[in-house]
Amino acid sequence: MIERLRLRNFRRYNDATLRFQPGLNFIQGLNNVGKTSLFYAIEYALFGRVENFKTIRSLMQPGKRSLGVELVFVGRQGERYLLQRVHMLPAKGRKTLDGHYTLKALLDEGEQYVLASDFGDTEDKLALRLHELTGLTRRFFSIALHMRQGDIPSILEGARQLDIVLGVTAASMAEDELRQMALELEKECAGLAVLKERLRAFGNELTQIGGQVQALATERQATADKLAALSATADSRQELERTLKPLVDALAAYQKRSDESALHRRRLADEQKRKEDANRAGSKEELEKERVKLESEAAARTKSAKKLRGELEEVDAEQRRLDQQRGDLAGRIERRRSLPTGKGAKCEMCGQPIKAAQTAKELEQWTDEQKQLDKALAEFHTKQAKLRAALDKDNLEERKQLERGAHLAKQLEVLTALETSVALMQKASEEAAAAEKEALAAVKAEAKSTEAKLQKASLEARWNLEDEPAALIASIGEAIHTLRQTLAERVGRQIAERQSLTDLLARFEKEAQALGRRQAELEREQATAQRETHAQEARAARAARFRRLSAGFKDLQVQIRSDAATKLAPDTIALHRQLSERDEFESLSIDPASYAVQVVPRDLGQEVPAGLYEGGGHRLLLGLAFRLAVARLVAHCPFLMLDEPTYGLDAAHRAALMTRIAAQDVSRQILLVTHHAKEDVTGHRIEVRRQDKETVIAEA
């Protein structure tokens, strides 16, 4: 939020200070007095330049040698800051202005420097710090915060700059970088196959040692089995586990059946949803009817095309015949014209005298015939063009029908598959529910049987078979846990009896260690190859990860655009309905590729580009709603700057729009330039006036 703005030698402002309040701030005055210059000053202070102004010098008051702007703003955490920016004319012989900036924190105990160009801090460092404090970037400011006069509706035709604001551009750069890194790593691990072949040879040798280790393991397992058998007779826990095993197995079976039943229910619901979604595009009867119609039209078109091709072949044949006649005639004319024409002229071939009158008569006759042939050829050319155009049109329609027919066949195939799948899943779900019920009955039966066995062993089972399934299962689990803890206390007395067998297992362990040392000697021979292989595999794994990450960033770009379009569309139409006097659109959509807006007006009933719909007032309201939705989506909009948002509206619509803008909860602060401020709309008012050649400020 901006608290105070001071301008020195900025356009028509000599030295002016104005304060802004939270909420709506009206900057009002006559046309061409300098209201919009206040927005330029804010943009200059934040970013060091102003869009559409090629140089800073063009912002300086004529005759002055410097300009400056001072901005007091509140950060996202509520802290206050002072940003000062100055540009001065350089010394003689230099053309570039000298620019300086200072950013200070305004604390209770005074001012504290944060950044300053005089301390060597760069513009990039200031931009990053301002983004951290306010959430602003240059693109976000131009798209959503600073709504310029007459430029508000332009966003309806698309705003690819949103890719930068939403992070799509950053994801694209990450995708390219990761793909390049993957290529470099793939080159480095090109010899991995050779290394793996060497390791397989080492593995064959180690298999022989493994056989000896396995034989020892068999003997050790036999001893361990004897120890287990002794422990089973002496350890009461084993007897308990045998008693509980049918119940534990029944519990596991029930849990498995319960999970399977829940899974089948979820799958059935998902498949039914897919079927409903597929049916929205048309039922099987409608699709089949359309397919039959397409086949009928295709047959008629094929017959028409065959007729057109026949006519075209006849015309082409006649044209070739006429072209041949004209060529022969043109040759005769050329030969006659090349004959000598003087007195006593003779033919060079036969030596006969040449009759000039007869030659002229023949030339005149042949020339007339040539003109008639040219006229006939022109008519045939026209007829050919018409036949080819008709044939091309039939071919185009045929391609469209083939594409539609393929699409219909695919839809019919999907609907048929979904119907079969839903029926199968319905049956599977019912069977799973029945199995779950049977498993629960088995649990209850085993619980009752186990309870009797435990009573004979002087153990108590604490569960209630009349409880709900979830409570019953939980109580059985808790009871089993309690029984196991009770018997664990009795095991200590049995340790001495198993000590001898434990010592024997220790001896086997020593022998296994000896074999392990022999195995280690062989493994050292393959250590070098393993290290090289691991290094190569690590590079290959990194390359694969980079490939996956690159694909992920590519998918992320599509997802970001899709999510943004999905969120912006309902928010834009909701804001439009709040800003407009009437609800004129049935729906609104946003193209994720270009962010262009499409609307379905209620009076048309079909989708049209929003930038081409009706008059400027409608586009203005819709463009304003879209920009406000972008500001709300990014969710760190400290203030909004609206330059004549009612531009092009009549008096009644201007007054209504002012009231509705004031009621929106998009930003804590709105700065609104207008020369039609409505007096009954609550807000802080700043009057901008012209005083001679200078612009002055008068706050209400």
Question: What pLDDT digit, counting tens, does each position of 15-55 carry?
Answer: 999 999 998 888 988 888 888 899 999 999 999 999 888 88
pLDDT of residue 148: 77
Nearest residue to 151 (alpha-carbon basis) of 281, 36, 287: 36
Mean pLDDT score of the chain, rounded to an integer? 82
Q: Which DSSP state fits 677? A: -
CATH number of 114's domain? 3.40.50.300
Cα–Cα distance measured from residue 464 to residue 185, given in angstroms and rounded to the nearest whole number: 63
Beta pairing, strands 2-10 & 66-74: antiparallel
pLDDT of residue 648: 64
Tokens representing 22 are 């939270």
pLDDT of residue 66: 92
Q: What percent of the chain has pLDDT over 90?
A: 12
Tokens representing 677 are 């401020």
Do 603 and 695 lie in one domain? The reply is no
CATH number of 382's domain? 1.10.287.510
Do 559 and 642 lie in one domain? The reply is no
Cα–Cα distance measured from residue 242 to residue 148, given in angstroms and rounded to the nearest whole number: 82
Do 1 and 130 lie in one domain? The reply is yes
Helix or strand (DSSP H, E) at 86: strand 80-88
Helix or strand (DSSP H, E) at 691: strand 684-691
Let me know: does 108 contact 94? Beta carbons within 8 Å: no
Query: Considering the domain boundaries, does residue 177 fall inside one?
Result: yes
Nearest residue to 492 (alpha-carbon basis) of 675, 235, 318, 676: 235
Nearest residue to 621 (alpha-carbon basis) of 592, 605, 599: 599
Beta pairing, strands 608-609 & 694-699: unpaired
Query: Any residues with CB less than 8 A from the CB of 498 and at least 6 apart, and which?
Result: 227, 230, 231, 234
How many domains does the chain contain in total? 3
Q: Is 53 strand, coil or helix? A: coil
Domain stops at, among 397, 423, 449: 423
Do 115 and 23 lie in one domain? The reply is yes
Query: Considering the domain boundaries, does residue 296 fall inside one?
Result: yes
Query: Considering the domain boundaries, does residue 39 fall inside one?
Result: yes
Q: What percent of the chain has pLDDT over 70?
A: 91
pLDDT of residue 557: 83
Q: How far is CA 208 from CA 212, 553, 585, in A?
A: 7, 48, 80
Do 58 and 72 lie in one domain? The reply is yes
Do 566 and 644 lie in one domain? The reply is no
Domain stops at, among 634, 652, 674: 634
Do 339 and 370 lie in one domain? The reply is yes
Cα–Cα distance measured from residue 522 to residue 206, given in angstroms and rounded to the nearest whole number: 7
Do 598 and 698 lie in one domain? The reply is no
Cα–Cα distance measured from residue 199 to residue 538, given in angstroms and rounded to the nearest whole number: 16
Tokens representing 417 are 């598959």
pLDDT of residue 112: 93
pLDDT in tens, 554-598: 888 889 889 888 998 898 888 888 877 778 888 999 999 888 999
Do 623 and 641 lie in one domain? The reply is no
Please report which confidence band the pLDDT of residue 156 belongs to, taking 50, 70 and 90 as the band edges. confident
Helices (H) and strands (E) in the chain, counts: 14, 15
Let me know: does 507 contact 218? Beta carbons within 8 Å: no
Cα–Cα distance measured from residue 535 to residue 540, given in angstroms and rounded to the nearest whole number: 9
Nearest residue to 622 (alpha-carbon basis) of 591, 669, 589: 589
Beta pairing, strands 684-691 & 23-28: parallel
Report whether pLDDT(679) > 80: no
Query: Any residues with CB less than 8 A from the CB of 483 and at least 6 apart, and which?
Result: 240, 244, 454, 459, 461
pLDDT in tens, 180-189: 888 888 788 8
Cα–Cα distance measured from residue 193 to residue 197, given in angstroms and rounded to the nearest whole number: 6
Do 400 and 300 lie in one domain? The reply is yes
Query: Considering the domain boundaries, does residue 127 fall inside one?
Result: yes
- Of the chain, the end-to-end C-alpha distance in Å amounts to 20
Cα–Cα distance measured from residue 123 to residue 101, given in angstroms and rounded to the nearest whole number: 9
Query: Considering the domain boundaries, does residue 217 fall inside one?
Result: no
Dmax over Cα atoms in the chain, in whole Å?
A: 152
Q: At what angle do helices 356-456 and 284-337 cross, to 10 degrees?
A: 160
Report whether pLDDT(233) > 60: no
Q: How many CA atoms lie within 13 A of 606 on its CB side?
A: 0
Do 411 and 346 lie in one domain? The reply is yes
Burial class (CB in 10 A: 0-12, 13-18, 19+), 629: buried
Cα–Cα distance measured from residue 536 to residue 544, given in angstroms and rounded to the nearest whole number: 12
pLDDT of residue 107: 92
SS3 for 476-507 is HHHHHHHHHHHHHCCHHHHCHHHHHHHHHHHH
Query: Considering the domain boundaries, does residue 527 fall inside one?
Result: no
Residues in a beta bridge with 67: 87
Mean pLDDT of 1-8: 93
Domain that holds residue 580: 154-186+541-634
Domain stops at, among 634, 658, 679: 634
User: Among 274-278, 317-321, 336-340, 454-458, which range has the highest average pLDDT?
Assistant: 317-321
Nearest residue to 341 (alpha-carbon basis) of 361, 363, 356, 357: 356
Please state whether 134 falls in left (phi above 0), alpha (psi between -120 and 50) or beta: alpha
Mean pLDDT of 281-309: 77
Query: Considering the domain boundaries, does residue 515 fall inside one?
Result: no
Do 377 and 299 lie in one domain? The reply is yes
Query: Considering the domain boundaries, does residue 404 fall inside one?
Result: yes
Note the Cα 31 to chain centre separation in Å.
44
pLDDT in tens, 428-445: 888 888 888 888 888 888
Q: Is 20 strand, coil or helix? A: coil
